[in-house]
Structure 1
Amino acid sequence: MTLAPTSVNQPVPPDGPNGAARKPVAPRPSGRPPRIYGLDALRAVAVLAVMAFHFFPTVLPGGFIGVDVFFVLSGFLITTLLVRERVRTTRVSLRAFWVRRVRRLVPALVLVVVTCTAFAGVLGGDVLVGIRSQVAGALTFSSNWVYIAEGATYSNDLSPQVYQNFWSLAVEEQFYLLWPLALVAVYATKRSRTVGLVATGAIGVASAVLMAVTYQVGEDPSRVYYGTDTHLFGLMAGAFFALWFAPREPGDDARPTWWRVHRPTVGWERSAVVLVGLLSGSGLVVLALFLRTGSPFTYRGGLVLASVATVGVVATVVRGQRVARLVERGPLRWVGQRSYGLYLWHWPLVVLVAQVLDGALPGHASQPVVAVTATVLTLVAAWASYRFVEKPVLDHGLRAVGAEVVRRARDRIDAAWIERHGGWRTHGRRARLAASTLVVVLVVGAVGAAFVREPAQSALEAQILRGQVVADATTQHEAPTPDATEPGDEADPGSADEGDAAPEPSNGPTPTPTAPAPAPAPVPAPGPPPGDQVTVIGDSVTLISAAALTAALPGVYIDAAVSRQMKTTPEVVVGLRDAGVLRPYVVVSLATNSTVTDRVMDEAITAIGADHHVVLVTGYGDRPWIGPTNDQIRAAATRHPNVVVADWQSALTAAPEGIGKDGVHPQGPGQDLYASTLVAALTEAAGRASTG
């Protein structure tokens, strides 16, 4: 958008354009603080890491630390701006600060929300689940607390969240709201710099400790990851470095080189700067390659290390401005300047593209066509947002841009009216006005349709609920007692019918048979136990396959719940035993939702009892804990002779067409494959019972 010169630079006539008096708009200050080179390049690397994590998570599994890089940068830059203002003017204008933040953040965010909500309204389906609460959270910068309340995580793919990446914007905006107030209070004290450093460090350490102690292995990490209180340490690390680097007293800004980092003149200083930069940059690369969202280390030190390493990189950048100026050129600078738009657009677009192309849900795996399409659209959208929305607002202010939009709309309406009533033969201006009006009406209508069409649950959730109904129906059957006869037990020879009893022996000689005795009949191969001898303890994978299980094992007892974990097995077993429904064959299918240890496995098997035959089902999916859990399951089978493994992982790996879009729950033929995998393992367990 190019603003008309008269709207900003020329004075408004006293009577206004229509003869009415107008209040003049105060010009915005033209002076800008000196630029710190290299930070745009760092922004570019951070946003590209986040995009890679979301588009190709197996390539860069720790790319989510890009968010923590942004946190450190935000804390450093915001504190730097506030301290600069205080040093220059001896005060901090909170109103001016918040106005600048609104100009920077709100216009682009509103554009993304309106555009993507309209497209979601047209598409319908799963992308509309929870859309109203998501939009409300995005527009009020409270998305992180909305997702905490709903229990949404990047690992929870029962319904895609269009604006899930906005959680970090919410954390930053809450920081922007509260931190200036805290800094003003700090500057009201004596020895304010020391007080500020102590307070900033204490808050950062407290946040990191709170994340570490609040995180529970195997539990949903959304509370500790999304929480402002538990994820504040990166912002505080950046603020701490800004305060440490700030001038000591007001008036130090008189030198024109203030706040620019001088090039080190001593050899050891240059070496120290290079060493810090290499170690910090290498640390970020290692964390991006090996950190995992499901690893306890992530929440108990990993993210803190990422923040500390980012501070080291920032320190290197500001201490080496000559090199930073050379690095910050070309594509890196272009991406860095548009990093905010790239971050805003990339996740909503990949969710919508996956819906259009019927691809896998993003966050864990993306087909190349989905990732490439979303990348191209993200670059185009971020360019357009920066060119036509973000930069005009930053350069001229919201009121000036708003006045320009109103002026253009009024000019277009006036031109169309003149064309209509002036006898002109051309219809171009009226057509453009009609097209613009139609676009506005369609967008508003699509947004309204999104809110009206919002489904209560996703298609996957609906399938799981239907499976829950089937599983609940199996619990209504009368259960046999735990000591029911197991398959393979031989019948009592004395229980033969009287009509088939052998005749009494006679006193005469025994006749010699004239024909050879018939050969014994072959022993049939053992089959699976009847369903009324089987209890299945499972999670949502079991629920969604409940119909296939009941068809393969009529009479089976299914006790399953969404997100159930292996560590709950002893408690579940006690309830089943007390109810008299812990049958001789027990299937445990709980490898999907958490990491387990050998102790957890042994406690589960011991709770079931050595007098039962146990089938442990491996898990399938790209969650980082599933592989170690499967290893523990196989190891438990070697320690306990009554345990058999149902290798669901191998079965589905050989037939990947049976997996759903979320990469975890089976669909269609995959549900039959799940049932047949359990039946095969039960057959093996029955064979052991018949020979043992």
Structure 2
Amino acid sequence: MTAAETTRVRRHRMADPGGYIGGLDGLRALAVASVVIYHITPGALPGGFLGVDVFFVVSGFLITTLLLREVRKTKKIDFIGFWRRRARRLVPALVFLVIIVVPIAGIINRDLLVGIGRQVLGALTFSSNWLEIANGSSYFDQTSPLLFKNFWSLAVEEQFYLVWPPLFLLVIMLVRSWRVRVGMAVGLALLSAVLMGVMADPENLTRVYYGTDTHLFGLALGIALAFSWAPASGTWLAGRWSAWSQVAGLAALGGLLLLMATLDDQSLFTYRGGILLASLLTLTIIAAMIAPASPIARAAENPIFHWIGTRSYALYLWHWPVLVMVGLLAPAAPGSTAFWIRSAVAVLLTGIICEFSYRVIETPIRTNGFRATLAAASSRVSTRQPRYLAIVAAAAIMLVGTGAAVALAPEKSSVQLEIEENEERFETTPADPTPQPSEGADSPEPDASAAPTESSPQGFAMPGGEDITAIGDSLIVTSADGLEVEFPGLNFIAKSNRQWHEAPALVEAGLRDGTIRRAVILDFGTNAGIPDPQIVRDTIDLLGPDRMIVLVTIYGQSTFIESANETIRDIAADYPNVAVADWHAAISAQPHLLQADQTHPDIGGMYLFAETVRTAFETLAS
């Protein structure tokens, strides 16, 4: 520490005065609200995931400030005490959630238990992010109903809580200048941000999003601000910042809200500066809030924001598992009245659970500690009052249920099993080469002459199964049985996780070996939408104007659904030999025909899928 920090001197008005830091609860409220909205309906707030980065900056700033205050007061760091306080804050609510959610989820749908052993291990050891990276999981894949996928950020923060205190002590012992300390923190932030940008892979964005190394910059920026606020004599915060802080804070808040409303979780810009920018804006807001008598801090301390902020940890924990389970109990198409009612019920239920958790579990343990709380609970149970015995019995049942659910969890979901079975069947029964349509249609190279013209043939004959080839991703795979009933004898070029950029090569290969017939179903986009509409046009041009082509709209809650379906309809309108099978509209009217992932059809859904395709072919044959 510097001399000013270790002696009793008059502290500058812009230096840390100690005590409660106003405004942070309001910032936490904004963070958790944005994440909840993003998880309910990504299209309404595409950048809502930035709420996690707000949490990171707040955590880096607050934890470092608390450590600085401890050194200033006691001239040392009580590591055991620090980690004990973190455990009291984090562990009780987490354990409570796990033993309640896991057995209930197993009762609702066993598919929710796939990978639950790994998820529980990650939750209880705060290693979720690295375990999910190793497993190849995706945060942005809306078709994967992982119960605890939101726990990745808790893991990053807990790893920070574990590693930072001893490093902090080393820094303040070896580095006396606040400027150097701030520079080190900023340098760490830039290094992490550069790693995220360089390592960002459009095919696997989860690695840089989940990685502690690539997503450390928000925490590091919070550290830098804490180091700037600590010296008694004042730092850059004591200059012109005090005069302009509120204007800058409001501008930063506006910028952060704009990013939340527009940033795309699939855009490379997000990972090559977008998230860093959001973190810098959050830093600016906090710097404005710590100014003396800050109007922004006062506004952020209103009762509603204070309630949400003080319960933000439990709200963040519970909202996603509740949304997943309520979604399975009450299927509803995104945007429908039933969907909004269901979402409101899920949010209300989350709030009730979190209030119970905050009052009955979190606060007593955080205030009194584990031992005293357990001793008090044991004393009450010893009185043999019925309500206390009932609580113990319920806890025991949930613990046993959690253990049983983990032990008996299926290795693969019913969707995955169906996909694997059908893909194996496609591979073992290759399609026979079929005669090609009129000359020019089987050219493997795109040809401008194949583009639609007024003379393009219309009035095709309605195809039978022996005339149809289905090309696409897991939607085709899981709908195979329904398609085969509706169109006996059709053939498949389909595999899960395929995307539109793979379509031209698949069509070229099919044209060369003669396995693509005169009528074609094209269904891609479930995993990534349509990043480049020209690829769809190139695929249609490869197939030529003499084939009947059905483009299938996609369904789900990803941010790209609406734009992808609009693109499909616009492209189909330009080709007289192309029709749209509006799967999105069909399944939106009957969402109960979807499997647990709320994306792939169940038995009834696969027949609806086939009927939707038949209707599209009929429009071409009319």
Q: CA deviation at 1:630?
A: 4.0
- Which amino acid is 1:278 matched to? L
Moved more, 666-675 or 649-658: 649-658
Change (3 A) 1:164 1:484: same
In structure 2, distance between residues paired with 1:361 and 1:246 = 51
Q: CA deviation at 1:635?
A: 5.6
Change (3 A) 1:158 1:333: closer
TM-score, reference length from structure 1: 0.75
Deviations 1:274-315 (A, max 9, x none): 211211111122223233333444333332222111111111
Change (3 A) 1:571 1:445: same
Partner of 2:48, secondary structure, is coil
Deviations 1:598-643 (A, max 9, x none): 443355456556786654434334422234444554565577x686
- Determine if contact 1:346/1:378 at 8 Å carries over to the other structure: yes
Question: 1:60 aligned to 20, 45, 55, which one?
Answer: 45
Question: 1:237 aligned to 216, 221, 228, which one?
Answer: 221
Question: 2:249 aligned to 249, 267, 277, which one?
Answer: 277
1:676-691 equivalence runs, <5 A: 676-679=611-614, 681-682=616-617
Question: 1:478 aligned to 432, 440, 444, which one?
Answer: 432
Partner residue, 2:532: 597
1:324-339 equivalence runs, <5 A: 324-325=297-298, 327-339=300-312
In structure 2, distance between residues paired with 1:330 and 1:432 = 33
Question: 1:447 aligned to 381, 396, 402, which one?
Answer: 402
- Which amino acid is 1:304 matched to? L
Change (3 A) 1:635 1:124: closer
Partner residue, 1:558: 492
Q: CA deviation at 1:481?
A: 4.9
Partner residue, 1:138: 123
- Determine if contact 1:596/1:632 at 8 Å carries over to the other structure: no
In structure 2, distance between residues paired with 1:119 and 1:638 = 47
Moved more, 185-194 or 61-70: 185-194
Partner residue, 2:282: 310
Partner residue, 1:497: none
- Which amino acid is 1:142 matched to? S
Moved more, 380-389 or 191-200: 191-200
Whether 1:228 aligns to 2:201 is no
In structure 2, distance between residues paired with 1:79 and 1:115 = 34
Whether 1:350 aligns to 2:323 is yes
Change (3 A) 1:60 1:385: same
In structure 1, distance between residues paired with 2:476 and 2:337 = 22
TM-score, reference length from structure 2: 0.83
- Which amino acid is 1:174 matched to? Q
Question: 2:506 aligned to 572, 584, 607, which one?
Answer: 572
Deviations 1:574-597 (A, max 9, x none): 543554423344433213222331
Change (3 A) 1:224 1:120: same
CA RMSD, Structure 1 to Structure 2 (Å)? 3.6
Question: Structure 1: which 5+ residue stretches go unaligned?
Answer: 1-31, 417-428, 488-523, 688-692
Deviations 1:341-368 (A, max 9, x none): 222222222333334x333599999823
In structure 2, distance between residues paired with 1:621 and 1:124 = 19
In structure 1, distance between residues paired with 2:200 and 2:135 = 18
- Determine if contact 2:333/2:589 at 8 Å carries over to the other structure: no
Change (3 A) 1:624 1:195: same
In structure 2, distance between residues paired with 1:403 and 1:658 = 48
- Which amino acid is 1:107 matched to? P
- Which amino acid is 2:487 matched to? L
In structure 2, distance between residues paired with 1:245 and 1:131 = 43
In structure 1, distance between residues paired with 2:559 and 2:213 = 26
Q: CA deviation at 1:141?
A: 0.4
Whether 1:623 aligns to 2:558 is yes
Deviations 1:53-97 (A, max 9, x none): 333544434322221111110011111122223334444333332
In structure 2, distance between residues paired with 1:369 and 1:686 = 41
Moved more, 149-158 or 228-237: 149-158
- Determine if contact 1:43/1:70 at 8 Å carries over to the other structure: yes
- Determine if contact 1:472/1:558 at 8 Å carries over to the other structure: no
Deviations 1:628-683 (A, max 9, x none): 444554565577x6862434357537855586265543445553343344445556
Whether 1:294 aligns to 2:266 is yes
Partner of 2:174, secondary structure, is coil
1:534-683 equivalence runs, <5 A: 534-577=468-511, 579-594=513-528, 595-605=530-540, 614-633=549-568, 644-648=578-582, 652=586, 655-656=589-590, 660=594, 662=597, 664-667=599-602, 670-679=605-614, 681-682=616-617
Q: Max radius of gyration: which structure?
A: 1
Deviations 1:151-209 (A, max 9, x none): 33354354522222211101111111222233233234344534432332222222223
In structure 1, distance between residues paired with 2:25 and 2:587 = 43
Partner residue, 2:454: none
1:41-440 equivalence runs, <5 A: 41-191=26-176, 193-217=178-202, 219-247=203-231, 252=232, 272-323=244-295, 324-325=297-298, 327-355=300-328, 357-360=329-332, 367-409=339-381, 412=382, 415=383, 429=385, 431=386, 435-440=390-395
Partner of 1:537, secondary structure, is strand
Q: CA deviation at 1:567?
A: 0.7
Change (3 A) 1:458 1:321: farther
Partner of 1:559, secondary structure, is strand
- Which amino acid is 1:476 matched to? P
Partner of 1:187, secondary structure, is helix
Partner of 2:87, secondary structure, is helix
Partner residue, 1:21: none
- Determine if contact 1:159/1:458 at 8 Å carries over to the other structure: no
Deviations 1:103-158 (A, max 9, x none): 22112211221222243344452322222111111000011222223333354354
- Determine if contact 1:615/1:644 at 8 Å carries over to the other structure: yes
In structure 2, distance between residues paired with 1:37 and 1:437 = 39
Change (3 A) 1:158 1:59: closer
In structure 1, distance between residues paired with 2:389 and 2:175 = 64
- Determine if contact 2:545/2:577 at 8 Å carries over to the other structure: no
In structure 1, distance between residues paired with 2:602 and 2:551 = 21
- Which amino acid is 2:430 matched to? Q
Change (3 A) 1:536 1:237: same
Pairs aligned (count): 586
Partner of 1:536, secondary structure, is strand
In structure 1, distance between residues paired with 2:201 and 2:292 = 41
- Determine if contact 2:25/2:300 at 8 Å carries over to the other structure: no
In structure 2, distance between residues paired with 1:361 and 1:400 = 48
- Which amino acid is 1:277 matched to? G
Identity %: 38
- Determine if contact 2:550/2:581 at 8 Å carries over to the other structure: no
Moved more, 86-95 or 628-637: 628-637
In structure 1, distance between residues paired with 2:161 and 2:334 = 30
- Determine if contact 2:551/2:578 at 8 Å carries over to the other structure: yes
Change (3 A) 1:385 1:631: closer
In structure 2, distance between residues paired with 1:617 and 1:436 = 52
In structure 2, distance between residues paired with 1:364 and 1:58 = 14
- Determine if contact 2:140/2:206 at 8 Å carries over to the other structure: no
- Determine if contact 2:333/2:588 at 8 Å carries over to the other structure: no
Question: Structure 2: which 5+ residue stretches go unaligned?
Answer: 1-16, 442-457
- Which amino acid is 1:314 matched to? I
